Amino acid sequence: MYKIVKKQDLAPNITRFSVEAPEVARSRKPGQFVVIRAEETSERVPLTIVDSDPEKGTIDLIIQKAGFSTTRLVSFEVGDGFLDVLGPLGRPTDMEKYGTVVCVGGGVGTAVLYPIVKGLKEAGNEVITINGARNKELLILEEELGAVSDELIITTDDGSYGVKGFGSTVLQGLIDDKKNIDLVVAIGPTMMMKAVAEVTRPYKIHTIASLNAIMIDGTGMCGGCRVTVGDEVKFACVDGPEFDAHLVDFDEQIAKHHYYDKEQKCQMDLMIDKAEEERA
């Protein structure tokens, strides 16, 4: 059992947890993730380690309700425990000094981005962060990102806060302003990462995307997380989750995300039925 010691709602549908996992806390590096199984009948869900405290032996996770499994995870309370927490998995981000780095986060991808922004800043980079959300209510980690970025630009799709529009558009603006950019890191919905990759491609700005491939074990055993990167097939859980965004076949990833749509909808419907039964 991996005990939950803290729980905090960040936005509608987005919750932050601190979970006791001392072995993970002491070896984890930014960019890595865990695989969590909530209870015996649950799926294994990959989640980024947003922060960790090796002293207290805790890791922080930010979970967005996307479907059945994440909804179940978010229903856990302080004092409860997750049955299994495996990690740290994946390759850590290369924390070098690149110069000027623009980090583009969207939705819950912002949670994945946060430890990377923090690490890149500590490595001596000038970090400009573009934090995007659909609307003001859904925006997360504004304060935290502000504290570790040289400049923070907020975007909302509906203009309810910050700049109206997408992160990719703001990035294009920075490039047009002749800003010298050495690296772009994009983490968020697959469509958004694809858009960012298309913005930087003509300028040959090295761009990294952190893929949220479908995973089962997270240990290189199933190949369910295969991604096509250039001419090669890679396993996102072992070789990633970060890859060169100019080489990733994003369309393939988008298609993979819809493969189990029907089965997942069934699970959700069952869960809703059950909740209604209980209420009645």
Ligand X SMILES: Cc1cc2nc3c(=O)[nH]c(=O)nc-3n(C[C@H](O)[C@H](O)[C@H](O)COP(=O)(O)OP(=O)(O)OC[C@H]3O[C@@H](n4cnc5c(N)ncnc54)[C@H](O)[C@@H]3O)c2cc1C
Does position 71 interact with other proteins (CB under 8 A)? The reply is no
Q: Which residues bind ligand X (CB under 6 A)?
A: 33, 45-48, 62-64, 66-70, 108, 111-112, 212-215, 241, 257-258, 264
DSSP string, the chain: -EEEEEEEEEETTEEEEEEE-HHHHHH--TT-EEEEE-STTPPEEEEE--EEETTTTEEEEEEE--SHHHHHHHT--TT-EESEEEEEESPPP-----SEEEEEEETTHHHHHHHHHHHHHHTT-EEEEEEEESSGGG---HHHHHHH-SEEEEEETTSSSSEES-HHHHHHHHHHTT---SEEEEESSHHHHHHHHHHHGGGT--EEEE-----SSSSSSS-TTEEEETTEEEEHHHH-SEEETTTB-HHHHHHHHTTTHHHHHHHHHHHHHHHHHHH-
Q: Which of 41, 55, 79, 178 binds other proteins (CB under 8 A)?
A: 41
Instruction: From the list ligand FES, ligand X, other proteins, none, pick the one residue 23 interacts with, judged by a Cβ distance below 5 to 8 Å according to partner type.
Output: other proteins
Stretch that binds other proteins, among 20-28, 142-150, 151-159, 167-175 (CB under 8 A): 20-28
How near is the Cβ of 95 to ligand FES at its closest, in Å?
23
Is the Cβ of residue 38 or residue 175 nearer to ligand X in the bound state? Answer: 38
Q: Which residues bind ligand FES (CB under 6 A)?
A: 215-218, 220-225, 235, 237
Judged by the rule CB under 8 A, the positions of this chain that interact with other proteins are: 23-24, 27, 37, 41-44, 68-69, 83-89, 216-217, 219-224, 226-228, 233, 238, 249, 251-252, 255-256, 258-260, 263-264, 267
